[in-house]
Amino acid sequence: EVQLVQSGAEVKKPGESLKISCKGSGYSFTSYWIGWVRQMPGKGLEWMGIIYPGDSDTRYSPSFQGQVTISADKSISTAYLQWSSLKASDTAMYYCARGGAMVIRAFDIWGQGTMVTVSS
Amino acid sequence: QSALTQPASVSGSPGQSITISCTGTSSDVGGYNYVSWYQQHPGKAPKLMIYDVSNRPSGVSNRFSGSKSGNTASLTISGLQAEDEADYYCSSYTSSSVGVFGGGTKLTVL
């Protein structure tokens, strides 16, 4: 079964760092793009960025460039989303999703989501 | 890039058809055939319903269909059912080599 399994919910304080993960299984992890999507409480989906684990080609939506870092460790089929200094406005559900083989297209497989809460 | 434009809400009665529009620009929707649609029920992860403008993934009901004309893509749901009540999002690849979502549309089945 093709699936993406994300790390568990996090509660952090402003200024702290955080790295959440997304482990792929059931398919060739290095052959598909993996993207990250933010959903703030009660709001819509936002396209954050995407990585191709095969060669680590990474793209960021302008709104998220410089705000987060996307990476991947293909040896353990895991993608990451990290923050160096969290803000209260980073409180949201974060989804990883598989984004196509050669071309960035639709997100066909989604992780279960990781809730990040940033509060003092 | 700006989010794609969707109506905030649409509604329909069981058995009816509804259409949700998704308007972008020639730099996204109009420039590529990589428009996709997602269904999201409360508290759940999104689910892919349509990819590449009009293709349905395996397992998605043929009551769901997609199309595109110029800078506007559309999702049509025919034979509306209670379980179709959800939020729907469109998405497109863009000339910036990243993607963008629409603002989302809440579908109410009356």
Contact status of A104 with chain B (Cβ, < 8 Å): yes
Find out whether A71 and A82 touch, Cβ atoms under 8 Å.
Answer: yes
Beta carbons of B34 and A105 less than 8 Å apart: yes
Backbone phi, psi, residue B82, to 5°: -55, -35
Closest CA–CA distance from residue B96 to any residue of chain A (Å): 8
Say what the alpha-carbon torsion angle A98, A102, A104, A108 is, to the nearest 10 degrees.
-30
CA distance A106 to B99: 9
Residue A64 tokens, joined = 């998220």
For residue range A48-94, list pLDDT tens digits in order: 999 999 999 999 999 999 999 999 999 999 999 999 999 999 999 99
pLDDT given for residue A104 in this prediction: 84
Contact status of A108 with chain B (Cβ, < 8 Å): yes
pLDDT given for residue B103 in this prediction: 97
pLDDT above 70 coverage of chain B, percent: 100
Q: Is residue B79 predicted with pLDDT exceeding 80?
A: yes
**B85: Cβ–Cβ under 8 A, 6 or more apart, which residues?**
B107, B108, B109
Find out whether B36 and B91 touch, Cβ atoms under 8 Å.
Answer: yes
Beta carbons of A108 and B48 less than 8 Å apart: yes
Q: Quickly state the pLDDT bin for A105 (edges 50, 70, 90).
A: confident
For residue range B11-21, list pLDDT tens digits in order: 999 999 999 99
CA distance A31 to A2: 13
